[in-house]
Amino acid sequence: MGMVLSIYDQIARLVSSSWGAGQGVRRNDAGDGWEFGNLARLIDVHPGLLSGSRYKSDFLNYNGSSGTVVTGRLFAVPIIIPHPCTIATLSLDQVTNGSAGTVHRLGLYGNGGGGVPTTLLVDGGTLAADTGGTAIRSVTINYAITRPQTVWIAVSTNSGGNFNRTATNTVGFGAYNGVIAVQMPARAHDPTTALPSPFGAISNLIDPNGTIPRLSLTVA
């Protein structure tokens, strides 16, 4: 039987392909992101995202315990979008209500390379955190993705309630499979105010073990 490559191995091969041959990826002219030399080849190696299904970051283990998270902090996690599509909703896993008047704010950021989010794509606005109980809480954004790319789901909250949280990262990227302590970017933010654009200076690099709410998205 021939060797079976993971999606990450196949993407890695695209990355290493010659741009001059119309393949692979390179820095865009602005220097703030990546562009693809041959979208068809990347689309070919992924089955796509199913309308109405919920998708999480490929780089995080979502089997963490329930508990509180730091308030007044903007967290962001990356997710690969392999096909053009419309991102319908952004969500977090709430377990208990926060105190009266508290809110969650969800949004979507672009990827600038270097392991950090950059330009704000969508500020999804706030959700009341003092209601809903145990539920997946969502905002609707209907944001069109026109090419394969990585985006960052972001959330800040002032809720003192409990969330289902991420655990230590579990990734399988390229030839490596195992548990590693990849850190995720965060910065201070008041969720009652608009999300910053760009994401801005990273004030915290955090181990996601029990510190980040589970974040996900759906496509239309």
Task: Encode pLDDT of 196-213 as tens digits.
Answer: 999 988 877 776 666 788
Distance from C-alpha of 132 to C-alpha of 40, rounded to nearest angstrom = 42
CA distances for 210 relative to 62, 65, 83, 166, angstroms = 10, 6, 31, 5
Q: Does the pLDDT at position 5 exceed 60? A: no
Distance from C-alpha of 15 to C-alpha of 49, rounded to nearest angstrom = 22
Mean pLDDT of the chain: 78
CB 201 within 8 A of CB 35: no
The percent of residues in the chain predicted with pLDDT above 90, rounded, is 46
Peptide bond into 198 cis (omega under 30): yes
Number of H helices, E strands in the chain: 2, 16
Q: What angle do CA 61, 65, 69 make, to 5 degrees?
A: 95
Predicted pLDDT at 59: 74
3-state secondary structure of 145: strand
Tell me which residue has tokens 């589970």: 214
Q: Does the pLDDT at position 171 exceed 50? A: no
Distance from C-alpha of 79 to C-alpha of 81, rounded to nearest angstrom = 6
Helix (H) or strand (E) holding 100: none
Predicted pLDDT at 48: 81
Q: Confidence band (pLDDT; 50, 70, 90) for 126?
A: very high
Predicted pLDDT at 159: 94
CATH number for domain 50-219, candidates 2.10.25, 1.10.10, 2.60.120, 1.10.3470: 2.60.120
Predicted pLDDT at 164: 86
* Residue from 69, 96, 59, 78 nearest 191 by CA: 69
pLDDT digit string, tens, across residues 32-58: 555 555 444 555 567 788 899 999 887
Predicted pLDDT at 29: 52
In this structure, the number of other CB atoms found within 10 A of the CB of residue 82 comes to 19
Give the mean pLDDT of 86-105.
96
Q: Does the pLDDT at position 69 exceed 50? A: yes
Give the mean pLDDT of 55-64.
79
pTM, rounded to two decimals:
0.76
Distance from C-alpha of 170 to C-alpha of 181, rounded to nearest angstrom = 8
Looking at the chain, the domain(s) classified CATH 2.60.120 span 50-219
CB 82 within 8 A of CB 149: no
3-state SS string over 35-56? EECCHHHHHHCCCCCCCCCEEE
Predicted pLDDT at 124: 98
CB 45 within 8 A of CB 10: yes
